[in-house]
Amino acid sequence: MLENAYKWFHTSMNDHPGLTVWFTGLSSAGKTTLSHAVCEQLRSAGYKVELLDGDVVRQNLSKGLGYSKEDRDENIRRIGFVAELLSRNGVIALVAAISPYRAIRDELRTRIANFVEIYVNAPLAVCEQRDTKGLYRKAHAGEISNLTGVNDPYEPPLHPDLECRTDQEAIAECVTKIVKHIESRLAS
């Protein structure tokens, strides 16, 4: 009885695609804040959601990788691999990672069936002022190198599915916009 019910759910779910929602942008642009808030809202609405935060995932999947272009791309590819596994099984996989290079983001878009790119955009000066993790201070003091936006490139998306100007829009406004977009993509 239980088994049959289980199978039935599974069969039904198999037909429903999940989604990979990729938050890209500078450090302190608001990726973590937005993805957490979106995650919470979707979860309370009953969706299956996993949040893959760049910093956390690095510890689990990419120990030993650094911040060269090759290492960054490899890190993004690994997160993409996991996000694809989740989203093709009906999960909404939220990814918050700087992912500075356009080519690798476009590679993911091609590979992952249901891919949403969200450009979390705030001017560098605003990010430097926020400096949530103290990275900009360290970079300017010469304590760290390879900080995106300071001594490493960031290639903004040319055609993101959604853009949030976090220096101009309130967090709640951005979250509403993102959740609305996600729900419309799921229904389409």
Is 99 marked active-site?
Answer: yes
Binding residue for a second copy, selected from 46, 103, 141, 170, defined by CB under 8 A? 46
State the binding string over 64-83 for a second copy (x if CB under 8 A, else -). Answer: x---------x--xx--xx-
Contact range with a second copy by CB under 8 A, out of 31-39, 86-94, 105-113, 138-146: 86-94
61 burial level (CB within 10 Å; 0-12, 13-18, 19+): middle
Q: Which of 28, 99, 184, 188 is catalytic?
A: 99
CB-CB neighbours of 159 under 10 Å: 9
Measured from the CB atom, is 141 or 187 closer to a second copy?
187
Q: How far is the CB of 165 from a second copy (least distance, A)?
A: 27
Binding residue for a second copy, selected from 60, 68, 129, 132, defined by CB under 8 A? 60
* Residue from 98, 120, 156 nearest 30 by CA: 120
CB-CB neighbours of 170 under 10 Å: 9
Work out the widest C-alpha separation in the chain, in whole angstroms: 65
CB-CB neighbours of 35 under 10 Å: 26
CB-CB neighbours of 60 under 10 Å: 10
Measured from the CB atom, is 8 or 153 closer to a second copy?
8
Measured from the CB atom, is 44 or 170 closer to a second copy?
44
For the chain, helix, strand, coil in percent to 5 are 50, 15, 35
Binding residue for a second copy, selected from 61, 124, 126, 144, defined by CB under 8 A? 61
Contact range with a second copy by CB under 8 A, out of 6-14, 30-38, 104-112, 148-156: 6-14
Residues 134 and 112: their CA atoms lie apart, in Å, by 33
Cα–chain center distance at 95: 3
Measured from the CB atom, is 16 or 159 closer to a second copy?
16
Strands 19-24 and 115-121: parallel
What is the contact surface with a second copy in residues (CB under 8 A)? 2-3, 6-14, 16, 45-48, 50, 60-61, 63-64, 74, 77-78, 81-82, 85-86, 89-91, 183, 186-187
